[in-house]
Amino acid sequence: MPADDQVLSGVLTGPLVAGERVTVTDQKGRRHSVLLREGGTFHTTHGGVSHDDLIGQPEGCVARSVGGHLFLAFRPVLNEFTVSMPRGAAVIYPKDAAAILMQADIFPGARVLEAGVGSGALTMALLRAVGESGTVYSYERREEFAKVARKNVETFFGAPHPAWQLRVGDLVETRGPEPVDRVILDMLAPWDCVASIAEVLVPGGYLCCYVATTTQMGRVMDMIRTHEGFTEPWAREYSVREWHAEGLAIRPAHTTTGHTGYLVFARRLAPGVKAPLRRRRPAPGAYGPDYNGPRPAWVQQLPPDKDDE
């Protein structure tokens, strides 16, 4: 069993042991996730690699296959584990999880509410960030997804994490009364939960919604504005492009991670406070050619400032 500090951090040290998962990389840079067991064999097109050649060795060791090819073995770090672990639902990829941790300012000791735990990828990043003194309340509507997430989290940390509370059920119906500092919503209809989470999100706290389409992004931003208890929301999308650099051959690599989702952020206002209307000039037809009703309050055209003249 790993020590308590290793459980909290998810970082194991010492020799590789049977029962843990390692990342094995071949000479072409292809990575494979392998669960070590005594007497086991990792089969490749270049012959098998014996697990016994890895068990008891330090991280960064090299094993030789029957065919003579070399394979490098490390324990998987968090970003490797989240993209290779078993999935019950799609995961939030490392590039988006990193942006959430920074943009939503997830800090040690934070109380974080997460809805839509999926396979547990973001949960592990949140637990790493809040540490022993924080709490992550995770809500998942589907029992089968919750089981997969629980197993993945316990596999990565080596034991149940003391800062994690996993609750199965609809967020609006089963939400606890605990005040929270941050809220992360990863679900199909986050706009349905804005009013509910506003009741427990402390003033100054961050709301982050992860959505897949521009339609979802627009709807949740409009709902945040309609609530009037948050700052003007902002949305971002992140992409990652790797580079190849060898001698004079310097170019973008073929592996690029483009669109995975949109991140919408807003901050909770103090009770009874409404954010000042932001000056804007919506384009004609912004609400559709057949819309004849009044514009929502947040898009009423205001007289220009002196700065605009």
Which tens digit of pLDDT belongs to each residue from 171-219? 999 898 999 999 999 999 999 999 999 999 999 999 999 999 999 999 9
Name the strand (E) or helix (H) holding 23. Answer: strand 21-25
96 assigned ligand-binding residue: no
Average pLDDT over residues 249-269: 89
What's the whole-model pTM score? 0.81
Cβ within 8 Å of residue 254, ≥6 positions away: none
CATH architecture entry for 85-270: 3-Layer(aba) Sandwich (3.40)
Average pLDDT over residues 7-26: 79
Average pLDDT over residues 49-62: 92
CB atoms closer than 10 angstroms to residue 171 = 23
E-state strands within 116-258: 135-140, 164-168, 180-186, 201-211, 234-236, 240-246, 249-257
170 assigned ligand-binding residue: yes
β-partners of residue 6 are: none
β-partners of residue 25 are: 31, 72
CB 20 within 8 A of CB 12: yes
Question: Domain residues of the chain, as ranges?
Answer: 18-76, 85-270
Average pLDDT over residues 21-41: 89
**85-270 has the same fold as 18-76:** no
Average pLDDT over residues 85-108: 92
CB 23 within 8 A of CB 35: no
Average pLDDT over residues 1-11: 54
Name the amino acid, one letter, at 189. A
140 assigned ligand-binding residue: yes
CATH architecture entry for 18-76: Roll (3.10)
DSSP helix, strand, coil percent of the chain (3-state; round to 5)? 25, 25, 45
Mean pLDDT of the chain: 87
63 assigned ligand-binding residue: no
239 assigned ligand-binding residue: no
